[in-house]
Structure 1
Amino acid sequence: MKQLHDNQRHELITNAKQVITDELSAIQSLTERFDEQFVDACQIILDCKGRVIIAGMGKSGHIGHKIAATLASTGTPSFFVHPSEALHGDLGMITKQDVLIPISNSGSTDELVTLCSVVKRQGTKLIAMTGNPDSLLGKLADYHINIGVSKEACPHDLAPTSSTTATLVMGDALAVSLLKARSFTPEDFARSHPAGRLGKRLSILVSDLMHSGEEMPTALPEETLEKAILVMTGKQFGATLVVDSQRNLLSVFTDGDLRRAFESGTDLKRSSLADVIKIGCHRIQESSLAVEALSQMQSKKIMVLPVVNSHDEPVGIIHMHDLLKAGIV
C-alpha cells in the first residue's frame, strides 16, 4: 500500500478540520431561522390527530428516517414513507388526519412535489423542510422550515454534507421543542424504550426482580448461628432476614457478620442470632424502582436488601446480582 508522505498526512487533517468548521457554520446559521413559521409548524403537529409522516429521496430520505425515529421516541407518533413507494401503492398510509413533512434541499424533487400535490387535495397538512422557501415545495406547503446552507462541506459544493447535517439538526430542534411542549418526561421516554438501559432503569420495579416466598431466606432470632448458616447456604444469597414470630423484620445477618462472629470465637452451635445481630436494617419498598435499590446498595456498600410492603412487612430479598442480570447497573 502506498504510504502517505508528511504533507499528505497534514493535508488530511487540515481537510477534516475544514469540514467541521464548514458544518458548524451551517448549523450556526440555523439559529436565525426560528420564526413564526416554525412556531406554527409546531402548533400544527401538537394539534395533529394522526401521525407525523416524513418523506424524502436519497440522502434526505436517510436523514428523514432518523428524524421520524427521533420524533416517535420523544412523544410525537411518526414514521417514514418513501415518496416513490407512496406513489406506487403506499399512499393509503397517509390520511387527512396526518401531517406530512417532505424534506428536499432543492425543494423541487419530482416525487415529493407529486406526493404533496396529491395528499394536499385530501386535506393533509404540509410542513416543507427545504433550502429554498420559493421552491415548488416551499410554495405548496402550508408551512416552511428553512434548512438552506450557503455551501456544502464538499470542496466541489456537490455532495450533500452541510445540508444533510443542517437538516438533521433542524429535525432534532423540532423534536425537542415538541418534547418540551408536551411535558414529555423520562418515564414517558422509558415506555418507548423498554428494552434499553434507560428504559429498564425507569420502569423495572423491585418487585419485578425480588425473590419471595420459598426463595426468601428467613430465620428467627432465637435460632442458632449454625442453623442460620444452613439457611444462608441453601438460599445462596450470602444473607438471611431475621424476623420475629409475627414476621416483623428485625435485622439482616450476612456472611460478613458470620465471619466476624467466627473471628471473635463465638460458638456457632450454641450462640443464637439474637446474641450477635443489631436490631434494625436497611430495607426497600417493593413498589420502588430497581434503580433505587441499586443506589441504596452502592451508598451503603451492601450486596442485599430486604424488600418490604407498604406495611413494612418483609416480602422478599433482592441481591446486587439481580440488578446486574437485569441490566440496571
Structure 2
Amino acid sequence: MRITRGLADIVIDSLCRGVFAGDCRRLSLRSCFPFLYDAECSKRSVVLGMVAGGDKTPHPDSPLIQRSKKEKWSQWSLRGGMQTLSEALESYIKDKGVEIHKDTPVEALERRADGRWQIKLPDGSVTADHMISAVPAAEMSRLLTPIAKPMASTLREMSASTVAVVNLEYDGEVLPVSGFGHLIPSFEDRAMLGIVYDSLAFPEHNRRSSSSTRLTVMLGGAWFESSVGDPDAVSKETLLSLASEAAATQLGVKEKPRRAIVTLNKSCIPQYTLGHWKRIDHLFSYIHQHSLPLSLIGASYQGVSVNDCIYNAKKAVQRLTGS
C-alpha cells in the first residue's frame, strides 16, 4: 500500500497500536486490514477501491446487526461487562446437556486408531470426533508437536504481544475533552499505547450515586520489554504510576485516582506479522490434506476482535454441519 511517510508514522502507526498493540512496520496489511488490501488490489488505490466498494467480504446479518447499522453504533458493550457474554454462553450450552471442564488445562492430545481425538486432562480424558480449538497458537503448537509437526512448526512462528491495562476512576468529571479516547504514535511514547475515556464512551456504566470519570490506559504491546520491562518482573505499582502519569501529562488529570485496577495480560494479542496469511494458508491446507478432524478458531488466526472470533466460530460450525 502506498501512503505518505507522515500518514504512516502518525495514523497507521497509531491505528496498529490501538488494534493490535503492534508495530506497523512488522505487521501484515493483508492479514490485519484485509479490506484495505482488497481495495488496493481492485483499483490500485485504497481510496478508489473503498469508493468502489473494496470490501467484498460477505457479512452476516441479524436483527442485532440491523439495529447497530440503523443506530450507527461505533462500539458496543454489555451492561454487566464483557464477561457476561461467556457466562451466558456457558449457561446456554449447559442447559443443552454439554459437559464443561473449567480451569482444566489440556495436558496432551493423541489420535486414536479410529481417527478420533483423545484429549488428556489432569483428572482424566475426553474422546472427541472433531475438535474446535480456540487456544492461542503457542499452546496449540505444544499440543500438536507429537501429532502434526509441520503444523506445530508453523504455529511456533506466530507471536503475541503483552499489554498492561490500567483502569482509573476519578471523582467528578475531570476530562478537559470529549470523545472515545486517543491513541499515541510510537515516536511520541513507545510505552503508552492509548487511553479510552470509558465514562464518555459507555456512560451506562457510570456510578449512579455521584459523577465520576473512568479511564482505561493501555501500555506496552510490541514495545513492552524495551520500554516497560520484563513482564515477569514489572510491578503493579510501576504500571499504575506510568498510567497515572500519562493521564496527568496527556489529559491534565492531576487528581489522584479514587480507584485503580491493574491487569497484566501476557501474550494476549496475536501479532499478524509479514507472511501471516501464508502461515494460515499452510495450516488450513495441512488440515484439509491430512483430513484432520480439527477446526482452528480464536484470535490467533483470522481476526483479533470479539466480533471476528464470533464470526469465525460460526463459520467453523456451519462448515461442520453443512448449513
Q: Normalising by the residue count of structure 1, what TM-score does the alignment of the two structures yield?
A: 0.18
Larger Rg: 1
Which protein is richer in helix relative to its size? 1
Highest relative contact order (Cα 8 Å, sep 6+), 1 or 2? Answer: 2
